[in-house]
């Protein structure tokens, strides 16, 4: 399954790119698995995904918890918590 990844804010800065297409292994079932797998892909990914509890996600533009199954996800966005003011 090919997934378009989007990265925002300090996640984008740590990874060094705003997005990429990835094909995770079959063992990657949910967003948390995806984050763990991505963290192994490069030093920048490792920095960005070192503390998953500080991350939020959206699948196909819908906010989801990190334990959400990927299903047929076409796009996954990873970003820090959103604050307003």
Q: Residue 22 is part of a domain; what is its CATH number?
A: 3.10.20.30
Whether residue 84 lies inside any domain: the answer is no
What is residue 60's three-state secondary structure? coil
- Give the domain extent around 75: 3-79
Look up the pTM and report it. Answer: 0.94
Contact 17, 11 (CB under 8 A): no
**pLDDT at site 83:** 64
Say if 19 falls within a structural domain. yes
Q: What is the pLDDT along the chain (85 residues), one digit of tens a residue?
A: 899 999 999 999 999 999 999 999 999 999 999 999 999 999 999 999 999 999 999 999 999 999 999 999 999 999 998 765 5
Q: What pLDDT sits at residue 82?
A: 74
Judge whether 67 lies within some domain: yes
Has residue 85 been placed in a domain?
no
Alpha helices, DSSP H, located in the chain = 9-15, 31-38, 43-48
Q: What is the pLDDT of residue 1?
A: 87
How many domains is the chain partitioned into structurally? 1
Give the Cα separation of 43 and 69 in Å (integer): 26
Cα separation, 50 vs 54, in Å, equals: 9
> Is 45 part of a structural domain of the chain?
yes
């Amino acid at each position: 399954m090919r997934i378009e990844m989007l990265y925002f804010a300090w996640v984008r800065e740590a990874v060094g790119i705003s997005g990429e297409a990835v094909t995770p292994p079959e063992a990657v079932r949910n967003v948390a698995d995806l984050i763990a797998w991505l963290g192994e892909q490069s030093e920048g990914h490792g920095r960005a995904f070192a503390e998953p509890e500080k991350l939020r996600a959206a699948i196909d533009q819908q906010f989801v918890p990190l334990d959400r199954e990927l299903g047929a996800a076409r796009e996954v966005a990873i970003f820090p918590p959103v604050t307003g003011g």
